[in-house]
Structure formats: C-alpha cells, structure tokens
Amino acid sequence: MLIAVCLCIPRLALDYFWDDYTFLSNAQRGSFMDLLPSPQAVFYRPLSRGAYFLLLFVLGPAGHLAGHLINLAAFCISTALLVSLTDKLAGRSTGMVAGILFAALAPLPSLVAWASGAQDLFAITFVLGALYLRHVGRPVEALLAMIAALLSKETALVVVPLLIYWDVLVERSSARVRSFALLYGIPILVWALAHPGIRGAFAGASAQTDPSGYVGSVGEDSLLYFLRYVLVLFNIPITGLATPWPMELTLPWLAAVILILMTSRALARSKREEASAPPLLGLGVMAVLLGVPALLFPSVLIRVWSPYLAALAGIASSMVIAALLWRSSTGLTTAVLVVYVTLGVWSRGVVVPGGGVLTEHTLVDASDAAKRVRGNFKRVEPAVPHGAQLLVSVGATGTRGIAQTLHEGRALNLWYGDRSLTALTPEHRRSGSAREYLFRVTPELDVIELDIENHHVRSNRSEVDGEEIFRPLRTYARGVAASGEPDRALRTLHWVARMDRGQPRSGYEARLIAMVLLSAGKDRTADSVLAQAPALGRIDRLNLIGGIFSQPTDNPAFDSLAFRAFEVSPSDPPALRYLMLQFVATGRPEQAVATARRLQTLAPGDSESVEVIRHGGK
C-alpha cells in the first residue's frame, strides 16, 4: 500500500478534465442521468458516476482533491484485498509479491490522478472484494460486492464465472455449482434488462451507439490492441527504448525501490515457513477466466487504446507472476520486483502523438489545459450575470478536449458557479437571451472575448491573431441570422469586413452577407452584393460551403442558402459528390450521409454515395 501511495503522490495535484465535467454538471443540474438508467446513455454506472460525482460536487472546491484521495483509498484497499486473497490461495510470500506487483502496475496511478478513474478503481476493488468474500464462505456478501462492481463498470462482468466455479477452482467441491449459477446469474439477468446499452443491443438497435465514437468495433487493430495490453501487464513501454524517463517520478520510484528492499527480509522469512508451492494450475485457470476477457473487451470494443483499460486484468497477472516467482531465491525475486517497478515508472513516460493512445501524459496535459483555460476565462471575464448565454468557439485542441469540456461538460457553469448559464457554440446561438457573450478559445488555450455591441476585443494576451477573431465572428453571424436576427448578423459581418479589408478571404464575408440578406427576403440587395464580391474559384467555393455545413446552425433552410450565395447549384451531382467526400475525409459522418442521400435523389444508384450510406459516412 505504501508503494502504491508513493507512486501516486505526484499526480494528486491534477484538476478535473474531460468526462469529469460532464458528471459534475449532471450533479449540479440535479440530473438523475448518472443515477438511473437512461435511454440516452450507453453505460449505467450509478456508483462510480452518479453517487461519486454527486459527493465531489457537494464538496465544492475541495472535490477534486477528495476525488484523488477516494481513488487512492480504493487503490490501497484493492491492493490489501489482493494480498489477503493470494495469501489464502497461495501463501504469504506469494501474497506479498502479488501485492507489490499490483501496486507497481503502471496504469493504476493514472486512475488515481483522474477523478473519472473511479469507475475502474471501484470495479477492481469490488471484484476483489467479491472474490475474497466468496473464498471465505460468504457468498451472499460476495453477491452484493459483485453487484456493486457491475454498477461501477460493466467490465466487472468477467468476475461472474469465477464466483460460480470458485469451489471447483480451489479444489473444494463441484456439488453446488448450479446453486451458485442461480445465485449470481439471476441478478446479472436483472441488471442486463435494466442496462440501457445492453437492452438496446439485444433489441438490435443500431441507434444505441456512443456519440463520442469511443465505443465501437475496433476492427483489424484488435490484435494489436490486445498485444499492447499484454505489454502493459508486464510494465513494458509500448514505445520501447524511445520512451523518455519521467523525471518528476524519480523520487517516488526511489521510494518504491527502498520499500521493496525493506520487504526482502520478511519475504525470505515467509518463504522459509512455507512447505508447499502455490497451486499454479488453479491460479492459471483463474487468470485465464479473469484476465483474458478483461483484455478482450477493450481490445475489441474500445476504439481509443488506453493503458488503464488493462488494470482489471492486472489482478490476474499479479497473482500468476507472483506464483511463478515462488521457487526463485529471495534475492532474485527482489531484483525482479525492482526491475518491474522501474519499468512501470518508465512506462508512465510514454508519449504517442496524434490522440490514438491515451497515456498518463495525455491525462496530465488535459488537466493542465483545462486549468489554464479556466484561469484565462476568469481573467477576461471575472463574473457573468445570471442566465447569460455564453457562445464559445473553440480552436483545435486535440486530446486536451477543451471543446468537449466547455460544451458537453458544461464546465463554464461550474467555473462560474451558476447552473443558469447556457454555453453553446456560436452557430447554435438562441435568440431572446437577456445577456450574451461571445468567446474564442484558441488552439494555444488563450481566451478572447468579442464585444459585438461595442466592437471591442479583450483577451488574456496583449496580442491577438486576427483570424482567431474573424472565425468566431463569422460563425456567430450565421447563428444570429439563423435564429431570426438578420440585422444583428449584418452588423457583425460588416465589422468583420472592415477588419478583414483587403484580405484574400474578404470574398467570404461578402457571400455570408448575401446569405443573411437572402434569409431576410432581400434578394435584390443580395444579388447586388454578389455581383460586387471578389471572385472565388469553384473548388474554393465548394470548400467554403463544406465548412458551413460542417458547422450547421439549427436552421437547415438558412444553411441551404449557402449554395446560392456561393453560386453552386444544390442539384449539381459533381458538387454534391465533392462535398460528400470532403465530409467523409474530415470526419463528418452525419453531413456525409445527408449529402449522399441527396445525391441519390439526383443520381439513383450512384456507387460512391451508396457506399457512404452503407458505412454510415465513415
């Protein structure tokens, strides 16, 4: 447990990020989505999402530290349970080694660092609790622990076969297998019927998908994912010798090594007192029943590879490796443990650019980014009035996930402590708000406030890139026009045109102005604007139309005016095909399918659009 604490201490300062804000916002709004099964949800985790984040929200500013401490407590309890269970199954020395191996498993500290890591940590703790209670002859209490594990994370389902066949595996008796199958199987059936994701899957509902794209078939990468997860169980960094050593973890590593060396005498004494070897066959079967499914689930169903998804299988690998080391000398076992913890710390330095792998470095970066953006918002606008509408345009921030944090996670409601605030993207602007703010978060995480009424710009930085001003203003103007206020939209676009005068994209503002005029029924004025607008090539016009449809407003009729404003026929099959393929290439499946269907009406049987529809625009 001390080894686990040492290795986790450097990450206890991390703040909320990513999904944390979604769950906290649900608690702030008094939503029962995380507590009760919801048809809009893919998962049902009322303990590790609903109850846990409700507690963190109630704790206020101290919540994120409390979350780390709760997660660390779960890590320590699970380590103690693993040691106790292995001790009873294979002897004291094997239990000690298994505990050290588990405490030094590389991905576990990242679960302590991330509040949402409670989902995995709670599942691991309750799985171990269920196995321990089952072994000491308390099957009903084991059932309760199993249910708690399932209500923390669905992958805990892998423990059920072990609970049913436990007596067979530990060579007690096979007489009551049927009784245990009923005891543990019936609650599983009830849970499956209540679970929205499972119920939707059994109903054959393809609509029951994860909108984030996180869950789904991995496809041909499944084997690669599985092999990577196996490497995680041995603390081998997936980037090999190119992996940098995380210098900030050197002292915790040194403390863990000292603790391992301090246990060597107790380990030697325990080995001398043990007469029989651990039951390798039984432990091996247990490892297969628990570890293999625990690795297969994320390898097949989770599109983004994340080391922490192997943590549940770490229960099995720790027990088996410890049993294999029983016949080794104390010196060799100690050396193996030192190498293992060293590899574990080294593995935590893995960096894989591109977002396809979520490492501990990714989590730290996301936390730092969220903290920085929060500080910049408070510098630019220390307070906002009750009920204000906050329109936030976010530049590309990669795996930092700032757009998700601000919009899906509703982080601004939490940062300003006001659940009445409405945070939207500018294109989804709604009319009728008493007070309205327009912000831009740049890819560098700076915050810019754009005062539409007074044509004033404020930022946490003294110098602001002009394009970071123009982009949100253009999008805001479309949102305003789509919500029925063309005059306000025109004033905004004329402000942009004045600032952007003489720039190559000035023709874009002219066509946006024409769109707004067309929406107001001022066709002649729109035609006059178009006649004087700088010429744009066909590909440029198609790309700009694609950009508009990639960020659609809530008014499809307004968005469709882009075809006329950019002088492209909406009935032009080559133009629609170009847009369709552009949407596929840029990851806009909804727009790709909609355009493909439109193309089908003009060119029935078109092979490319048929394929796009068949693959859901991906």
pLDDT at position 212: 53
Whether the pLDDT of residue 355 is over 90: the answer is no
Q: What is the DSSP annotation of 183-251?
A: HHHHHHHHHHHH-HHHHHHHTT-TT---TTS-BS--GGGHHHHHHHHHHHHTT--TTGGGPPP-GGGHH
The mean pLDDT value of the chain amounts to 91
Q: Are residues 436 and 576 in the same domain?
A: no
Determine the average pLDDT of the residues in 27-41: 83
Distance CA 233, CA 313 (A): 8
Domain boundary residue, one of 289, 323, 350:
350
Report yes or no on 213 lying in a domain.
no
Residue 206 lies in a domain: no
Query: Residue 202's pLDDT is what?
Result: 65
**Pairing, β 389-394 against β 436-441:** parallel
Question: Are both 507 and 576 inside the same structural domain?
Answer: no
Same domain, 459 and 604: no
Span 498-507, average pLDDT: 67
Q: Is the pLDDT of residue 503 over 60?
A: no
Rounded to an integer, the average pLDDT of 233-244 is: 95
pLDDT in tens, 447-464: 999 998 888 999 998 888
* Residues 54 and 166 both lie in one domain: yes
Q: Within this chain, do residues 515 and 589 fall inside the same structural domain, yes or no? A: no
* 504 pLDDT more than 70: no
Q: Are residues 292 and 416 in the same domain?
A: no
220 domain residue, yes or no: no
Per the DSSP assignment, residues forming a β-bridge with 440 are 393, 448
The pLDDT of residue 208 is 42
Task: Grade residue 328 by pLDDT with cuts at 50, 70 and 90.
Answer: very high
Number of domains in the chain: 3
**Alpha helices for 91-157 (secondary structure H):** 92-103, 108-113, 118-135, 139-150
Rounding to the nearest 10 degrees, give the CA dihedral for residues 99, 81, 83, 345. 0
Q: What is the pLDDT of residue 30?
A: 83
Do 405 and 431 fall into the same domain? yes
Q: Record the tokens describing residue 456, joined without a space.
A: 């004033």
Residue 212 lies in a domain: no
Range of the domain at 54: 2-197+228-299+308-350
Q: Tell me which of 264-278, 311-325, 378-392, 431-445 is least confident.
A: 264-278
Residue 505's pLDDT band, with cuts at 50, 70 and 90, is low
How far apart are the C-alpha atoms of 32 and 49, rounded to whole Å? 11
Same-domain status, 554 and 581 = no
Do 433 and 546 lie in one domain? The reply is yes
- Single-letter amino acid code for the residue at 469: I
**Are 48 and 193 found together in one domain?**
yes
What's the pTM? 0.90
Q: Is the pLDDT at 24 greater than 50, yes or no? A: yes
Q: How confident is the model at residue 253 (pLDDT cuts 50, 70, 90)?
A: very high
Q: Judge if 238 and 259 occupy the same domain.
A: yes
Residue 204 forms part of a structural domain = no
Encode pLDDT of 332-345 as tens digits: 999 999 999 999 99
Q: Is residue 45 assigned to a domain?
A: yes
Which residue stretches of 349-455 are H helix?
360-380, 402-403, 411-415
Q: Is the pLDDT of residue 205 over 80?
A: no
pLDDT for 408: 92
Question: What DSSP state is assigned to residue 357?
Answer: B
Q: Which residues are CB-contacts of 299 (< 8 A; sequence separation ≥ 6)? A: 218, 222, 223, 225, 226, 229
Q: Is the pLDDT of residue 618 over 80?
A: no
Transcribe 1-70 into DSSP letters: -HHHHHHHGGGTT----THHHHHHHHHHTT--TTTS--TT-S---IIIIIIHHHHHHHTGGGHHHHHHHH
Tell whether 210 is covered by a domain. Answer: no
Distance of alpha carbon 264 from alpha carbon 174, whole angstroms: 39
Among 56-70, 171-185, 561-575, 576-590, the minimum mean pLDDT is found in 171-185
Co-location of 340 and 410 in the same domain: no
CB 549 within 8 A of CB 579: yes
User: Which residues fall within 8 angstroms of residue 469, CB to CB, at 6 or more apart?
Assistant: 440, 448, 450, 457, 499
- Residue percentage of the chain with pLDDT more than 90: 77
* Assigned domain for 288 exists: yes
